[in-house]
Amino acid sequence: MNQSVAGRCLCGAVRFRLNGVLRGVVVCHCGMCRRWHGHVGAYTRVAKSEMEIEDDGGLAWFRASTIARRGFCRRCGSSLFWERDGSDQMSVVAGSLEAPTGLATTLQIFAEDAGDYYALDERIPVRPPASAGG
């Protein structure tokens, strides 16, 4: 969906705008996302060229693995971004976006790593483990 939607962290120290085609929301159940978010990770994605950082006063990055880094607000702790090394795309935490987004959750990944305290949403397709990989 081609659109313009604003996003921000909880305290407002990081503000951004996504201008363009946003991917449907993907819910990630991997252990890293669950630890980072306190539950599952829910991300849309946009081309970096279609993302405008309006205020980066609190933006910090954490090298989360050998393939990616995670962006967050160093002031309030909000999780905001996931960026794969060398990619021209940026994954953006869906909960950081201002409504209405027009987005829908379209896929669950790493479902085999889901926490034992919740059930998967059976209405949302699951990517099989064999094809899982970032």
pLDDT in tens, 20-42: 999 999 999 999 999 999 999 99
CB 102 within 8 A of CB 90: no
DSSP, collapsed to helix, strand or coil, labels residue 31 as helix
Q: Please give the tally of structural domains in the chain.
A: 1
Instruction: Find the range with the poorest average confidence among 1-5, 40-44, 92-96.
Output: 1-5
Region 2-14: mean pLDDT is 93
Confidence check: pLDDT of 132 > 60? no
Task: Taking residues 106-123, report their average pLDDT.
Answer: 96
pTM of the model: 0.90
Is residue 133 over pLDDT 60?
Answer: no
Averaged pLDDT for residues 87-111: 96
CA distance 55 to 75: 13
Percent of the chain with pLDDT over 70: 95
pLDDT score for 1: 52
Residue type, 59: L
> Is there a domain that residue 39 lies in?
yes
In a domain, 127, yes or no: no
Assess if residue 107 is contained within a domain. Answer: yes
Alpha helices in the chain (DSSP H): 31-37
Q: What percent of the chain stands above pLDDT 90?
A: 90
CATH classification of the domain holding 66: 2.170.150.70
pLDDT band at 93 (very low <50, low <70, confident <90, very high): very high
Mean pLDDT of 10-19: 97
- The answer to whether position 128 is within a domain reads no
- 132 assigned to some structural domain: no
Domain ranges, residue 12: 2-121
Residue 67 lies in a domain: yes
Query: What does the block give as tokens for 45?
Result: 């994605």
Residue 126 forms part of a structural domain:
no
Assigned domain for 12 exists? yes
